Structure 1
């Protein structure tokens, strides 16, 4: 963890305090902006992204690049899975409480592509696999408004979570370490 140069302790206090408070704060801000805008900008795969930013800020998977590229890859992987299997014609697993075979196939393809491309681009961000599944399972549809909701949600994570991550990790802006 980053240390306060004055007393050698991590910025923000002990972990038992920092992580839950900043995670709740980040979630509240994103949710509040979403409520005001009337948009679904707070969705399940953002929770693990918030977790990484505030609780494990030094992990490579918590970096800005990994967060943005990881979710972008997750969206693309989910879309490829849906398009290759025709799953867009099947009901959403989340609302129908059914598991159409096309959604299973879309999920398998999405997970394989997501992990492959994240590794190739050195953009590992495990929460983005959940984004791929949200698309493959029909939680998000391949329509501009849903894709925009994901982009804005991830953008809000970066806007709010990245400064918190850097503060906790002791990384100054402009510092080349762990960007």
Structure 2
């Protein structure tokens, strides 16, 4: 079964399209698209095929200059979620998460144009291995970077801090591998 609905109104400049296809065990594609030039643009697309679900949502608000994209994929034990938001006035935020059995990866990046601050947080967990990275940049004051890796007998941690005002840089690195210790 295929159904298509399209509507155009010149006054409000709105377009909506809906299409659905169902073939036995496969349900493919539901698309809803709406355009309103005065306020916003929204696109929703969904695909379901047995164990897989993909959803993409994008919203644009021309008045506030804001664009938001949300994408989700679920394939049995794997889930991927992406959220992207852009606001020209204030900040940019990006969140991505992948969960596949023993592996988890999370990345968060935030940019504040007013305060000129960028923060990135990334975490990876694969059974016995964990990696964490935190990076923050502030143009006014300081730059801080922290990275940690833990894989059974090995631990490495570099920490670097820079303060423009006092012109001070500190680096700390530690490695521990069974009988060997390096600091």
- TM > 0.5 fold call: no
Which is richer in helix? 1
TM-score class normalised by the smaller sequence: under 0.3
TM-score by length of 1: 0.23
Task: Normalising by structure 2, report the TM-score.
Answer: 0.22
